[in-house]
Amino acid sequence: MENVIEVRNLVHQFGVKSVLKGLDFDVKRGETFGFLGPSGSGKTTTIKVLTSQLIGSSGEVRVFGQAKADLKRIGILTDNSGLYERLTIYDNLALFCDLYGTDRARILDVLEEVNLAGEEKTVVKKLSKGMKQRVTLARAILHKPDLLFLDEPTSALDPVNRTRIHTVCAG
């Protein structure tokens, strides 16, 4: 099976602090691949390098065979949401639709998928933490990416929404 991610001897330092010390792994098409590790062990740093938000100090990273991730083919959910707090859920997602060239008609479908149907006119600053997290997930899957990067996607969610999100992400 084809590798969608290839990581060879990835090393990263923040100043004098060595965070990634020669990471090697492959992720195949169709595979769900998870990082387990204590807080501060470099999981988020690895995702940032894979999604081209950070350049590793040395080593090689390939996503779909390219050194730089193709943002149209990947979706990213990180711990810092980056949502525009003063805009509505709809307007936040509309902005990304326009960036990705995705039809805005997809917004209501995706909100249904993350259990936020009927909330599209709500301003983001009025949302609970778990609701914001679900908007972030909606944004990550809006353009139907081939590869989804999820950094603690269900940390703020109740069991019902957690199960729902697992189902959405598996699909």
Ligand X SMILES: Nc1ncnc2c1ncn2[C@@H]1O[C@H](COP(=O)(O)OP(=O)(O)OP(=O)(O)O)[C@@H](O)[C@H]1O
List residues near ligand X by CB under 6 A. Answer: 14, 19, 37, 39-45
Q: Please, which residue, 109 or 152, has the CB nearer to ligand X?
A: 152
Q: Please, which residue, 112 or 152, has the CB nearer to ligand X?
A: 152
Q: Please, which residue, 36 or 160, has the CB nearer to ligand X?
A: 36
Separation between Cα atoms, residue 91 and residue 121, nearest integer Å: 8
> Minimal distance in Å, beta carbon 44 to Mg ion?
3
Q: Which of 10, 44, 74, 89 binds Mg ion (CB under 5 A)?
A: 44
For 74-106, letters b (16+ CB in 10 Å) and e give bbbbbeebebeeeebbbebbbebbeebebeeeb
Q: Is 58 helix (H, G, I), strand (E, B) or coil?
A: strand
Separation between Cα atoms, residue 166 and residue 72, nearest integer Å: 22
Among ligand X, Mg ion, none, partner that 42 touches (CB below 5 to 8 angstroms by kind): ligand X
List interacting residues with Mg ion (CB under 5 A).
Answer: 43-44
